[in-house]
Amino acid sequence: MKQKALVVGSGVAGLAAAIRLAVKDYEVAVYEKNNYPGGKLTAFEQSNFRFDAGPSLFTLPELVDELFIIANKNPRDYFNYKACEISCNYFFEDGQKLSFYADHNKLFQEIETKLKIDTSYLKKYLAKSKRIYESTEIAFLKQSLHDWKNYFSHAVVRCIKNIPYLNLTTTMHAANEKELNHEKLIQIFDRYATYNGSNPYKAPGILNLIPHLELSLGSYFPTDGMHSITKALVKLAQELGVQFHFNSEVQEIIIEKKEVKGIVVAKQLIESTVVICNSDVKFAYTHLIHSPSKKIRYTSQEPSSSGCIFYWGINKTFPELDLHNILFSNDYRHEFESIFNNNEVCNDPTIYINITSKKAINDAPENCENWFVMVNVPYNSGQNWEDIRKKVRTSIIQKIDRVLNISIEQHIVTEDYLDPIRIEKNTSSFGGALYGASSNNRLAAFFRHPNFTHTKGLYFCGGSVHPGGGIPLCLNSAEIATNYC
């Protein structure tokens, strides 16, 4: 008889964990409070515009492919993706635009032509980013930092040998300021701190491994949109026998004598000695785990930033924009001080615009575009989000009008939004924080909740636990957690 395993939540990590457990011959059931799977990785349609509601950047596609391969399936029978020629277009208030090409020769030529600088600094920077990533990938991203036996592995020994190159004693910004030779390059590479909701002026320099993922290993676009990842994983899981229970909010994870006994749904006990929690860890310890063994230190960490997102159907096309676009703030340090020190949004926030209709033409009507417009904001700690959202919308429109020389308001034909309140309601992310705890501490990685616990049979996966947020790390977390089952 198969051993039973329960998964709490169907975010991308929960889906990956369910698939891995099914491949291990567990009888798997997933319980999801919403009436749809995917967590943040979902989508919606409005007035003939399709929007990916959450994550928009796709890197390391092989981590998704791996889930099909271990199930003896061909990934291309489920979903497809293509490489992006441009990782991002960057716009500055002085009118300058930089396109970061996947082809490094074209990238270096773009930098030399427009910034009039020697690109040898950037070449060395990208080589170092690669070295940091390759030195830490297995030691930090593919195994637990909280399991002492891993510290005797070859991967950790290799990591230790490379300590002088890992930026362990400095911040991202300080490392970028030292290693790059132009203020615009420094700002561009500081931006990678936002990939896990952190402040580059505080986050550890080791996070400068992130550019390697996007600029050297490449960014990709699923041909049917980001939500196709969710749909493909759900289909695979169902084929493997995983049972999904939607509209089924978990009320409690039952623990007795340091052993998990199951979960409570609709006041009914569902027994199992294996539970993988894909819920936000703060939410889990606040609402689901009623046990004296709560790990207070995991619920007291500084939350990551959140986002204020507008979904706009635009009745015009913009050839100067690509899939990913950034309109930079003039004062980056002030922007992060506002978010993390003052719990507010500055008057000139950096704006991210994602337009999937650039790659998938059916995502918008003819001669139209679907804009996902986001600024980083603090997590919800009681602010007046109605007022903040109106202020942010005004700031966004003013900046877009200035930078693109357009009156964008007259081209918005449909609109919806997400703010920290809605994010928390939809995904149970504490305060609407998008990545769990921030990395605004040099030892932040060690303070993240581990994938295993001192409770026998209880495991965690997802963006709020080790190794962190974003699709690739969420998939890594599912592998680490299920390896302990």
CA 458 to CA 225: how far, in whole Å?
Answer: 33
Confidence class of residue 208 from pLDDT cuts 50, 70 and 90? Answer: very high
pLDDT, position 138: 74
Decide: 7 and 17 in contact? Cβ < 8 Å.
yes
pLDDT, position 301: 77
Would you say residue 281 has pLDDT above 80?
Answer: yes
* Mean local confidence (pLDDT), 180-187: 98
Give 102-145 pLDDT, tens digit per residue: 999 999 999 999 999 999 999 999 999 999 999 888 777 887 76
Confidence class of residue 409 from pLDDT cuts 50, 70 and 90? Answer: very high
Would you say residue 442 has pLDDT above 80?
Answer: no
Confidence class of residue 161 from pLDDT cuts 50, 70 and 90? Answer: confident
pTM of the predicted protein model:
0.95
* Mean local confidence (pLDDT), 444-472: 89
Bridge-based pairing of strands 219-222 and 81-83 is: antiparallel
pLDDT, position 178: 97
**What domains are there in the chain, each with its CATH number?**
4-44+224-300+438-483 (3.50.50.60), 121-220 (1.10.405)
Decide: 28 and 21 in contact? Cβ < 8 Å.
yes
CA 213 to CA 88: how far, in whole Å?
Answer: 13
Q: What is the mean pLDDT of the chain?
A: 93
Would you say residue 169 has pLDDT above 90?
Answer: no
Would you say residue 22 has pLDDT above 80?
Answer: yes
pLDDT, position 56: 97
pLDDT above 70 covers what percent of the chain?
Answer: 94
pLDDT, position 81: 98
Confidence class of residue 438 from pLDDT cuts 50, 70 and 90? Answer: confident
Q: Which pair of structure tokens corresponds to residue 136?
A: 């830490």
pLDDT, position 355: 98
Give 248-266 pLDDT, tens digit per residue: 999 999 999 999 999 999 9
pLDDT above 90 covers what percent of the chain?
Answer: 85
CA nearest neighbour of 417 among 382, 445, 392, 444 = 392
Would you say residue 299 has pLDDT above 80?
Answer: no
CA 484 to CA 482: how far, in whole Å?
Answer: 5
Question: How big is the chain, counted in residues?
Answer: 485
Would you say residue 156 has pLDDT above 80?
Answer: no
* Mean local confidence (pLDDT), 319-326: 98
pLDDT, position 296: 56
φ, ψ for residue 217, nearest 5 deg: -80, -20
pLDDT, position 155: 63
Helix, strand, coil share of the chain (percent; to 5): 40, 20, 35
Give 328-357 pLDDT, tens digit per residue: 999 999 999 999 999 999 999 999 999 999
How far is CA 343 from each of CA 197, 383, 432, rounded to the nearest angstrom?
14, 8, 13
Would you say residue 191 has pLDDT above 60?
Answer: yes
Confidence class of residue 151 from pLDDT cuts 50, 70 and 90? Answer: low
Confidence class of residue 15 from pLDDT cuts 50, 70 and 90? Answer: very high
pLDDT, position 58: 98
262: helix, coil or strand?
strand
CA dihedral sign, ordered 127, 132, 136, 140: negative
pLDDT, position 295: 55
Would you say residue 99 has pLDDT above 90?
Answer: yes
CA nearest neighbour of 78 among 256, 229, 179, 212 = 229
Per-residue burial over 106-121, b = 16 or more CB atoms within 10 Å of its CB, e = otherwise:
ebbebbeeebeeebee
CA dihedral 440, 445, 449, 450 (to 10 degrees): 170
